[in-house]
Every structure is written in C-alpha cells, then in structure tokens.
Amino acid sequence: MQQEHIVILGGGYGGLRAVEHLAGDPRFRITLIDRHPYHYLQTEAYGYIAGRFDIHDITIDLANWCRGFGRHVAFKQAEITGVDPEAKEVVLEHERIPYDSLIVATGARTNFFAFIKGLRENSYGVKNLQRAFAFRQTFEQLVYTKVEETRDPEPAELQIAIGGAGLSGVEIAAEMADVIEKHHKTLGTNAKKIRITLIDAADTILPGMSSYIVNRTAKRLESLGIRILTNAFIDRVEDGAIHLKDGTALSYRFMIFTGGIIANTLQSDVPLETNRLGQIVPDAYLRLSPHMNVYAVGDCVELKDAKGNLLPPTAQTAEKSAEYVAASIRKRLNGDPVSPFHAKVDGVFVALGGRYAVGELFGIIRVSGYTAYLLKKLITKGYYLGLKLRINTGFKKRTEA
Ligand SMILES: Cc1cc2nc3c(=O)[nH]c(=O)nc-3n(C[C@H](O)[C@H](O)[C@H](O)COP(=O)(O)OP(=O)(O)OC[C@H]3O[C@@H](n4cnc5c(N)ncnc54)[C@H](O)[C@@H]3O)c2cc1C
C-alpha cells in the first residue's frame, strides 16, 4: 500500500497531538520535524524556574517518543526555513522533504515589543527551554545571595520584575513567591527581601479571564507578598531600571517578559494573511488556502470559537486544533464531509504556588485552593504520563534494534 506522507512541523503541544491522532492509521507515514531534540512542556515552566520540577519533568525526547509508535513515525531534528507549496516540499537548512499533507505547528515566541526601548536587551522570555534554564539559575543565584548575607541587619531588597500578568507571568510569580514564603525559615529571613512585582498595561491581571479567576488570583498573589501594578505601561527598560509611562521608575535585578507573543511562521512564496500576533489566518478548515493540503494548528494560527471570537493561544486550543486537523485529513481520504473548525475553552486552571490553584470548568464549576491544585495536577500528570508511556515503548524498541 502506498502510504501518504504527512509532515508535521513543530514538536509542541499541537504537533504531538497531531502525531497521536494520525499514527494509528496504517495509510499514513509521518515525519515530525523540530529544531530541538525535545518537546518542552512550557505549561510547567513556572515550577521548573522556581526549582519545584527538574529538567526531566519538562522535557520529552522526541526521537524516543516517535519511535514508540513504530517505524511509520520518524523524528527529524532540523531548522525549518520554509515551505514550498508548489513543489509540496518543506525546506530545511540542507535538504528538502516532500509531503502529501503538511501540518504547520511551529507555535509562537515572546514578542519583545520593539516600541519598548531596551526590553529585548534587558529581559528574558520563558517560551524556550534555554531561557527558562537561565532564569532558574538566576532565581537560585538571588536566593543564594540572600542566604549568604543572612547576618546583614539591613539587607537590601532584590527585585524581580515580571512584565505581563497573563497566565504565564502570574504562575511564575506565584511559584517563586511561594518558595520564598515557605522556606524563609530555613533559608533565613533575608530571603524575604527578594520582592516580586507583576506589571501589566491592562486594568486587571489575567486579562480576558472571568472575575472569579481574577479576584481569587489577585487575593492569592497579595497573600504571597507580590506587588501588582496594573494600568502600568512600560516605556523603556535599562539595566537595573524599568521606566513606566507615568514617569515612575522601578529598580530590578532581573526581569522577565511574558507580555506578548508573536507567531513563528515560515517563509513561503505564497502570500499568507497574518493578524497582529503574526498568526496565519486560515480558511474555515484550518487550511492555508489555496494550498488545500497544508494545515496549521496551535499558537501559529488564528483560531476562533463558533461565535467567531478569537481563542486564546493555549496548549488546550493547540491540541483541539490538531485533533480537528488529524480527523479532517482522515475524513478527506475517506471521502467523508468535513465541517468547519470551531472550538471552545473547556476551562482554565491557574497554578498559584505550592499546593494552591484556581480553576473554572465549563463556566460553571469553580474551585480554588488544594482541590483546584489536585485537579490541575491530575490534568498535567495525565499529559506527562501519556508521553512517558510512549517514550518507554520507544526506548525499548531502540535497545531491541
Ligand atoms: C509559562 C507558561 C505557562 C503556560 N501555561 C499554560 C496553561 O496552564 N494552559 C495552557 O493551555 N497553556 C499554557 N501556556 C501556553 C502553551 O504553552 C502554548 O499555548 C502551547 O505551547 C502552544 O502549543 P504549540 O504546539 O502551538 O506550540 P509550541 O508548544 O510552542 O511548539 C512549537 C514547536 O515548534 C518548533 N519550531 C518553531 N519554529 C521552528 C523552526 N523554524 N524550525 C524547527 N522547529 C521550529 C519549536 O521548537 C517548538 O517545539 C503556557 C505558556 C507558558 C510560556
């Protein structure tokens, strides 16, 4: 049987879900391509940065994982430079890979807005592992500095600034503050001189989320001693100082920026429509019209719900769009009709340090504290264990080969 070659670009949440939903069909041969040899569990970055998780909790080896499906799924580590839809080829640095169907799942990166002078030079993003690793080391270094000076009667404050109070900024701030709060007895009270400030231009933290989530989160952040600055527009950043539009200057030792993303799209001779986040605007079936065998999923594409509202770029929507595209490819091959893509957000859980979270499911179930933490843990553990089981199979196959 002649197998269709499906190439998937990007081994993130969308790319992996697409592989999972296509690999069971013997009509397909699949190649997953990523510049990194691992899948990075960005959603767990907050725990890694604060030292609660280790590197093995947030990375999954893609070669072993793909091998776990069998010979018809292969992983290739390479930098993707473009797509040639006319020739039906993916362009890599040193070769071209032909495809029958293509799924673009290249995600997004931090948008260090060019209009904020000095932002890129002086702050870190957390959307890739190298940056998260660097931030983890810096956080540990700051704690170490405070441990070393425990006898200083007048210790200076060390400020960590987080630009952007969306999901990722809030989770990282809360986890670091919880570590300090929980361990200052053993670390020495000077550890409490590490101060965390969340800065956002919107009039609330977690813009776009329900008032239940926003209010509970704000309360928790305040109880952890986090300073929240909303309606605060960052004008420029220089080494050691953040200047706001209202003239205020905040000193900082370390700054991360989680205030915006820009999609990773690929070079193509075919002009693609993109939105203000750089996301590809697809047709109703997530295809990059007019090349009907090219699809896009996840953060790199504009996704909408049934009412036409934009969906937030999350792992949840990346997975839903990938499931939809995988099903569409199968349906088209079977000659079955395909309906347009619509998804909705089932719920959101915000990890707020230690064993505390806030969550909302289907707009009606609301939980906070330990119960929400357990539910969030169940979801993330389930995801991780699924990947781990596949890794175990892949690793066994490698040693048997
Ligand atoms: C700290 C943090 C916390 C978050 N918490 C949550 C949460 O609780 N819930 C939630 O749903 N979402 C959360 N998110 C958002 C979520 O992580 C993203 O929406 C999700 O990763 C998007 O998945 P994706 O597959 O589209 O892209 P990604 O997961 O970003 O994957 C894209 C992949 O493409 C590869 N790639 C890109 N360009 C190229 C190229 N040119 N060549 C080769 N490879 C390339 C990258 O290496 C990467 O592996 C969080 C994000 C962060 C940063």
Percent of the chain with pLDDT over 70: 98
146, 99: one domain: no
153, 216: one domain: yes
147, 106: one domain: no
**Strand 234-238 relative to strand 227-229, pairing:** unpaired
Cβ 301 vs Cβ 279: under 8 Å? yes
Decide if 354 is inside a domain: no
Q: How do residues 319-363 score in pLDDT, each as one tens digit?
A: 999 999 999 999 999 999 999 999 988 889 999 999 999 999 887
**Strand 254-257 relative to strand 249-251, pairing:** unpaired
Distance CA 39, CA 48 (A): 15
Decide if 375 is inside a domain: no
Distance CA 182, CA 174 (A): 12
21, 151: one domain: no
Of 226, 257, 288, the one marking the end of a domain is 257
SS3 at position 302: coil
Decide if 368 is inside a domain: no
308, 394: one domain: yes
Q: Residue 80's domain is classified under what CATH number?
A: 3.50.50.100
User: What pLDDT band is residue 401 in, cutting at 50, 70 and 90?
Assistant: low
Q: What average pLDDT score do residues 59-77 get?
A: 96
247 alpha carbon to ligand 1 midpoint, in Å? 35
Picking from 121, 224, 127, the residue whose alpha carbon sits closest to that of residue 169 is 127
Distance CA 179, CA 281 (A): 41
Give the single-character DSSP code of 339: P
169, 276: one domain: no
Probe residue for ligand 1, chosen from 126, 256, 264, 303 as the CB with the greatest number of ligand atoms within 8 Å? 264
163 alpha carbon to ligand 1 midpoint, in Å? 19
226, 167: one domain: yes
Q: How do residues 234-279 score in pLDDT, each as one tens digit?
A: 999 999 999 999 999 999 999 999 999 999 988 776 778 899 999 9
Distance CA 283, CA 127 (A): 27
pLDDT(198) > 90: yes
15, 94: one domain: yes
Q: What average pLDDT score do residues 198-207 get?
A: 95
95, 156: one domain: no
159 alpha carbon to ligand 1 midpoint, in Å? 28
223 alpha carbon to ligand 1 midpoint, in Å? 30
Cβ 224 vs Cβ 174: under 8 Å? yes
Probe residue for ligand 1, chosen from 21, 33, 35, 350 as the CB with the greatest number of ligand atoms within 8 Å? 35
- Which residue is it, tokens 């590490």? 194
Cβ 57 vs Cβ 70: under 8 Å? no
Average of per-residue pLDDT values in the chain: 92
Q: Residue 130's domain is classified under what CATH number?
A: 3.50.50.60
Decide if 206 is inside a domain: yes
99, 123: one domain: no
Decide if 370 is inside a domain: no
8, 105: one domain: yes
Decide if 136 is inside a domain: yes
Please state the atom number of ligand 1 nearest to the C-alpha of residue 10: 34
Domain around 167: 119-257
Decide if 369 is inside a domain: no
Percent of the chain with pLDDT over 90: 76
Amino acid found at 79: E
Q: Count of domains in the chain?
A: 2
Q: Is the peptide bond before 290 cis (omega within 30 degrees of 0)?
A: yes
Within 6 A (CB) of ligand 1 lie: 10-15, 34-36, 42-43, 45-46, 79-80, 105-107, 126-127, 167-168, 171, 264, 298-300, 313-316, 318
189, 314: one domain: no
**Upper half-sphere CA count for residue 400 (Cβ side, 13 Å):** 10
4 alpha carbon to ligand 1 midpoint, in Å? 27
Decide if 271 is inside a domain: yes
Question: What's residue 150's pLDDT?
Answer: 64
In order of 114, 133, 139, the CA distances from 236 in angstroms are 10, 25, 23
